[in-house]
Structure 1
Amino acid sequence: MIISDVFSKRQSIATYTVNELSVLINNGQVKLREVNKLHIRAIKKYILENVSSEQIYFPPLVATVAYLGTEKPQELTIVDGSQRLAVLCQIEEMGYKAAQSDLHEEMKKGYKLLQFVKHMEVAIQIFEGLSKEETDQLYIDLNTKGKKVALSKRIAFDSRKELNIITNKILETNKQLSTAGVEIEKRAVIRPTNKKLLSLSQLRQIVAIFITGKMVFRTLEDDRYETHLHAEGYIQLLNAWFDELFRLYPPEQIGNFQVSMLANHPLLISVAYFANKGLEKTGLQERKRELAKRMNQLIDVDFNRQNPIWKEFKGASRAGYYYLANDKANIEKLVRWLEEQGR
């Protein structure tokens, strides 16, 4: 075991089998911080969902000991990773439970877990001689000072979340959307300076509306919705919708707030919701036909910023521009108005 001096504290990294850690915990030789049941449940779900592909990735746990010798410590106080460790020590039990399932896929996961636990080792970064105050501060720093992964990277690299996969595919392949512009570097599109149609998070919000058939106001996680089509079906729908959208306003100008009211995001997502409302369980071809029909109802709507109709909706005037309010009641009112057009 290699021991290094980092600033005033000695530290090392050691690996333990899951069985070793289970024995140490049962003997009271490993002290865990208080665990959170919801967090435990989320980690278990992550393991069960990814054990078949063997894509389970955990960073090293962090612990402190009174003294670092030449052998790996047998008494540890966990600083960070108590939830992960608690779950890892339950893997064998999880495996037996899943293996007894009547569902074939769950049974396979159970046997995979039982094989997995036999070979799994856990890395622990170990600090020597931390006081309680230093231990608490290290825990806080580890959980608050790390840089959050940028949304663009999460969408580009997250191969598990269907929401991100679909968003990334649309971003890569829709040429008209590329012309209209998607802001990737900045979290928000500041009008009227920025003439790109959407931010990346706004594009993902629209994708979520297509998946759920409902108005989505907050970040959508994969475990909160049910899909009724394959990813390719949603991609077809989104491309069809963008084709119809750019018939209403050309992609070269649609994000220009000086002329286009569709650059006002509450109106844009209202159009997306209007096109999808109540269709989440409809088959792909029927849904495409209904989407085209609804969008065609808007063909004669004047989406120019100067149209006085926009002042009838909640909003605020700033520097000569009218910004629609991005709240549920206002969007519902916009959708009702869109539904009345072309009839």
Structure 2
Amino acid sequence: MTPLVLRNETGLRLAVLPFGATLCSLQVPVGGERREVLLGCAPADYPRQQAWLGAVAGRFANRIGGARLAYGGETWRLDANQAPHCLHGGRDGFHRRPWRRLAQEADRLRLGLLSPDGDQGFPGRLEVQLEYRLEGWELVVEFRAQCDRPSPVSLTSHAYFNLDGGGDARDHRLLLRADHYLPSRPDGIPLAPAPVQGVFDLRRARRLGRDWLGHPQQAQAGGYDHCFLNHGDGQDWLARLESGDGLLAMEVLTNQPGLQLYSGNGLAGTPDRDGGRYADHAGLCLEAQQIPDSPNRPELGDPWLLPGDSYHHLSRYRFIPLPARRLLHCTAK
């Protein structure tokens, strides 16, 4: 498998594998050098790794409890790849599909995927287009989809970021403008929304490793693996991440109602680019998505795509080189 490479005038360089529409490398100019900010592995290792490393998660990102759907008097059984639940669309979800290259320019790439009726148990024939773009200092991820039967749809990029280019991602500082998040059961199925508190109150920037495992929810998950609720419209940033060395920041803008913060708690043993293995917390994910388990829980939102309607997901990852030794002191508006 050979990656497709995009570049722009700012100096961003992105490499994408059509297998899983996988983001396998993103290099950002920092201090006169190129810094690799995504975790990745050798192309031949992507089909074997189990961490959704840089791939698209779908047809429905995150968990659907009981691997079961019910809508309009009909029921469907899904692939219970995290038994008894369905995770990220099933074991042969979109992360294991060869996406078609529809168009490519120097700084943008459009890919397509057809998911047939009954794919991993999901109803309807879903047609997806995905565009990756480099716009100035931004990586833009844009999905559009249509289905011929009602089906829940939630597509996301499962990219693992490390803005230091290596080391422990818990040294990063994060500010997240969310007042509520979803605590979860031990099996990862979310409970009702709750106000952020303790290590989950990220409305002021904090080092992610501070008070590590000091909250029962964090101890249960082995770190962060929780969805934060987004009430913005994607016009302003929802999250701002800063590297441990203080030289690079990344802002996340999205029109999706949820942002899953995952601190790489299960990364140990995942192959890296150099023939070695990643440790837990080598990278972190900020996955913009629909609310997990919402297909059967309307109080959490309505992720069902109906015939004639169009699914649209737009997320921007904006990179900001910073002066040396500058610290993030931003507070939420």
Give the TM-score category using the shorter length.
under 0.3
Instruction: Name the structure, 1 or 2, with higher relative contact order (CA <8 Å, separation 6+).
Output: 2
Normalised to the residue count of structure 1, the TM-score between the two structures is 0.23
Normalised to the residue count of structure 2, the TM-score between the two structures is 0.23
Greater fraction of residues in helix: 1
Greater fraction of residues in strand: 2
